[in-house]
Structure formats: C-alpha cells, structure tokens
Amino acid sequence: MNTGRFAGAVIGVWIVRVVLNATFYTQIVGQQFEQMRSAHPGMLRTVIPAYIVTDLIFALVFTFLFVEVGAALGGGIKAGVTLGIIVAILSPVLGNLYQYYSVTYLPAGLAFTDSIFHVIAHAIEGGVAGLIYKDIGHL
C-alpha cells in the first residue's frame, strides 16, 4: 500500500462524503426529517461533528477495503464504483429495509429515497477512491 496515495484517497472520499451527506440531508430530505422530528420529539438527534467524524471513519475503512480488493474488481474508478455499490447494498440499503420494517415513523418513500441516495453516493465515493489512489502519483 502506498501511504501517500492512501491518505490522499481517504481525504478525497471524506470530503466528497461530507459534502454529499450535508447536501442530501439538509437540502433534499431535510424537510421530511424535520416533519418526523416534530411528530416524534426526542426520537432523532443531529450531532454534526459526530457525523463528520463518522464520515472520516467510513473513508478510512472504505479506502482500506478498496486498496485490498480494488485490483480484484478491475482497478481504478470502475473498481471503486463497483465496491461502493456493493458496500451501499450491504449496509445502508439493507439497514433502511430493517429500519422501515422495525419502526412506524419512517415513511416508505423516505427509506427508498435514502437507499437510492446511498447507492449513488457510495458509487461516487468509490470512484473518487479509485481515481485518487490510482492516479495521484501521476499528478
């Protein structure tokens, strides 16, 4: 593993993830979460610094996973996108299904929208990991 390329990819994935999450959860579905928060006081909390740190942890683990399996997936951006989609389906998409069938306050439309967002966001984040880890040495 090339430490410099790894660090660059982690930072790239982290920044993209923070921007995507912030945009989606504040601008696209923020109003729906506010309605849920109003209808169910105390059920939801917003801790922005914790979200950002969690995004960093994701970026570290995801980039490490990309470095380890990226070549088996064909390398580069394509491998990152593929890995991102796999990770999205295994975690947030299935997690949304469990949550939808576990709680009564999560509307089906929001669970579906959130799942689609995660597939797209993870694919983008994977593409960033593939682009930076593969090509940073050529910049």
CA dist 112 → 79, 109, 118 (Å): 25, 5, 10
65-94 pLDDT, tens digit per residue, is 999 999 999 999 999 999 999 999 999 999
Tokens standing for 111?
């669970």
User: Which of 132, 116, 112 lies closest to 20, judged by CA?
Assistant: 116
List the structure tokens of 40: 């169910």
Return the pLDDT at 135.
58
The residue extents of the domains of the chain are: 3-138
- pTM for the full model? 0.91
SS3 content of the chain, % helix, strand, coil (to 5): 85, 0, 15
